[in-house]
Each structure stands twice: as C-alpha cells, then as structure tokens.
Structure 1
Amino acid sequence: MKKLFLSAFMLMGLAFSTQAQDISKNALGLRLGDNDGFGGEVSYQRGLSKNNRLELDLGWRNSKNVDAFKLVGLYQWVWNIDQGFNWYAGVGGGVGSWSYDHNGYSDSGTILLAAGDIGIEYNFDIPLQLSLDVRPEIYFNSDDYREDNFGPDIALSIRYRW
C-alpha cells in the first residue's frame, strides 16, 4: 500500500513539474460535441501566461420546439507532454437561457452551471489546434430544462491559432 501511495505521489509530482510550452495568445474555432443538445459551440481561447489561459464557449440551439444559448467560461492550466502535445485541466462556470414551445405548452428559464474540464490537444506547425476534452457540468437552477442536474460533455475541437 505504501508503494502505491509513493508511486501516485511521484507520478503527480512529475505531471505538475513538466515544462509547459508557450501557448497561443489567441485561438478561435469550433467545439463539436453533444453539449446537452446544444451541439456545436464557437470556442475562443486567450493565453494569459506561459501555461494558463481562458476559454469561452458559446453554444446555441434553435430547433422546432426549443431555443437556447449557453456561455461557459473556463480557466485552464496547460502542461506539455511532448512537442506539440499538451494536456490541460480547468474550472469555470456558465450561464444561459432556454425556451420551449410545443402544442400550446410554453416554458422558459435560465441556466447557471459550474464546470470542470480535462483534455488533450495537439498544436500543429501550421496555426491549427485539435483537442479532445471532457467537460462535466453541474446545473444549479435549470428548472424543467433537464431531468437531472448533471451533464457530461465530450467534444472534439478545431481552432485557428494566432
């Protein structure tokens, strides 16, 4: 058992001591996943330091019965794995609005959420970034929009970096 704890401690130390590469000052693109029915999101990343950034994702849904939008902001830490490969983790929150209208029944409400984020990305030699991440979301006042207050979100993103 001691060896297991020592190994886990050493692995965490190695992960947090790895050198981060310089991240792009700006990146803009699409984050494509299920996103709780929102589908794709417009995604913007802003580099804050050598290994920290802010990510803003705006998702919207405009269907026959439901109209909704959701804006999520995440503060992320980025660690280099190997030449162009990074992994990242972050925390943040979001806000949104939804309305439902079907067969004479109408309802609407707001969405407040807390989110985490963990993923892996590759920065090509050209100004292109691909990433895959998981963003679990906990909803606080989603009213009738969701049956439960938890939404896992897995997405693939493609962004132009400058």
Structure 2
Amino acid sequence: MKKVILLCFVAIGFALNASAQDISPNALGLRLGDSDGFGAEISYQRALGSKNNRLELDLGWRSNNNYDAFKLTGLYQWVWNIDGGFNWYAGVGAGVGSWSYDTPGYDGDGTVIFAAGDVGIEYNFDIPLQLSLDIRPEFGSNSYDGFDIALGVRYRF
C-alpha cells in the first residue's frame, strides 16, 4: 500500500509541472477493469469552470466467483497536459456501493460508503475518442478497501 501512495504522489508531482490544456466539455463511455475479477462502469466526465478541472461520475458493477458489487463513484479531477493529446490526471472523491458475498461458510451483504483517489493517463485523439488508463484506491466503511486498475474508452463531445 505504501508503494501505491508513493506512486500517487510522484504522479501528482510530475503532473503539477506540466502545462494545462483545454479538456472536452463532456465525455461518455466505459471504464473496464478491476483488481480481482471483472468490472465495468458507465463513465461520464464533465468539464468544470477552469480549463483543467472536471467531474467524473462512474456507475458500475463488480463480479467474480465469490462476490457481486454495485457502486456509484464521483471524483473531482485535475488534468495536466504532457504533450499533444497526452494528459495526466489526478483526483479525489467518494462513493456508495452495495455488495454480497457467497462463499462456503460465509454469506453476507451490505452497503459501503468510501473515499477514493484516482491517478491516470489519457490520450485524446483528433477524432472524438479518448482512451485512458488509471488506478483508483478506495477506502471505506465495513472494512472495505479496493484497488481498481482500469481502461477507459469514452466519446468526447
């Protein structure tokens, strides 16, 4: 976990030294991945007042052999240009989710409220397509902790 936190600080420090770029007013698509099993999220990004800030909302589910989860995450992100269409971004936010376990000897379900961070890289093509790769650590109630690594594909408009 210390390595993840260190990686986040290094990425944010690097990003602070890069120049800002105008970002798309809106982007809608999918964020696919998870640290364990498969998960998909419908992802929406909305540019905010300044040239390099945006809000990201993700509604998704996670599933593997032992559990199923459903969650809504909201993140405030800062975006910095690296070169051309390449950007770094970092963000913080929160979310709420519902989960259920079904393993031999233990069945349960519950609700979780969590805090989340986000660090990633994206590329905006000349056509209205955005690809991103990010990591998102999550910490919350009911001993919840998550670590997502995901690929995002969004239509920019």
Pair in the same fold by TM > 0.5: yes
Q: How many residues align?
A: 145
Q: What secondary structure sits across from 1:152 in the alignment? A: strand
Q: How far does residue 34 in structure 1 lie from its aligned partner after superposition?
A: 1.2
Distance 1:110 1:20, change over 3 A: same
Residues 92-147 of structure 1: per-residue CA shift (max 9 Å, x gap): 011011234678x75321011111000000000000000000101112225xxxxx
Q: Structure 2 regions of 5+ residues with no counterpart?
A: 1-11
TM-score (norm 1): 0.77
Match of 1:154 among 144, 149, 157: 149
AA of the residue aligned to 1:28: L
Q: How far does residue 63 in structure 1 lie from its aligned partner after superposition?
A: 7.6
TM-score (norm 2): 0.80
Residue 37 of structure 2 contacts residue 64 of structure 2 at CA under 8 Å; is this kept in 1? no
AA of the residue aligned to 2:32: L
Cα distance in 1 for residues equivalent to 2:125 and 2:14:
25
AA of the residue aligned to 2:121: I
Residue 39 of structure 2 contacts residue 62 of structure 2 at CA under 8 Å; is this kept in 1? yes
Cα distance in 2 for residues equivalent to 1:38 and 1:51:
31
Bigger strand share? 2
Q: Structure 1 regions of 5+ residues with no counterpart?
A: 1-11, 143-148
Residue 36 of structure 1 contacts residue 151 of structure 1 at CA under 8 Å; is this kept in 2? no
Distance 1:18 1:141, change over 3 A: same
Residue equivalent to 1:135: 136
Residue 120 of structure 2 contacts residue 135 of structure 2 at CA under 8 Å; is this kept in 1? yes
Structure with higher Rg: it is 1
Q: What secondary structure sits across from 1:125 in the alignment? A: coil
Residue 39 of structure 2 contacts residue 63 of structure 2 at CA under 8 Å; is this kept in 1? no
| Deviates most, 53-62 or 123-132 | 53-62
Distance 1:13 1:155, change over 3 A: closer
